Structure 1
Amino acid sequence: MELTAEIAALRGGTGDPGRLVGEFRRAVLLVPRSGGSAHGEGGLMSAVSGGIRWFYAFTDEEAMARFAVARGEAGREWPYLATLGARLVDAVVPEVDGPAGVAVNVADADGSMLFPPVAGIVPDASAVDVDPDSAEVA
């Protein structure tokens, strides 16, 4: 099953969280670049909410276009990086100063999903629910 179907299943009450995380890790996601340069110079687009940096990621160009429309920025070019969900949480999240997670398809009211900085999603060293001194889930 693909990521959008796993999100729908979980939101509908029939999904499996483990399958959802597996699909997220295997999915190729489109991550907009910040800075607005035609060449995509700058970092990855994100926002901070509740003390967590959320990287925006989308399952396809249509989902990213809905986000652009919702922001009132549909008229500009949206350079993006295509990367695996696993790369976002295993390589990008640990580089952030503070907790970080991934917000998938945030402009889709019934199709969005947050992947927070917790054990099982991000590396334990970046998880907010792991005691760094004992490496145990809090």
Structure 2
Amino acid sequence: MSDVKVFTLEDLQAHKSREDLYLLISGKVYDATQFLDEHPGGDEVLLEEAGRDGTEAFEDVGHSDEARDMLVKMFVGNFDGPTKSSAKASAGGSTTTSSSSGTNPLLFVVLAGVGAFLAWRLFLA
């Protein structure tokens, strides 16, 4: 059995600065500190989700398989506590089934446009 570190909500919230940023995605904790400057959507997106459950935001954007593979290198441990998805389930949640797989194409287009605009402005600066 491996010695995987287990994080609590307090542990997670202690790592939400630009110099030390952990993200919770699907019950797993990732150290995204070194990825801040490389994130295509900008560092603000990651900083906004730091210290809390960012699963919904991660899934809504529709990340590529390559992005999901990058998470493996950033993994630091598992989360021990309620997540947004477990809170919805315990609160009764919706019993309807959506035909989408949690992605919102319009949101992706908007974020891609914002990213392109910021990159364009960066190159002109």
TM-score, normalised with respect to structure 1: 0.29
Bigger strand share: 1
Q: Which one has a bigger Cα radius of gyration?
A: 2
TM-score, normalised with respect to structure 2: 0.31
Higher relative contact order (CA 8 A, sep 6+): 2
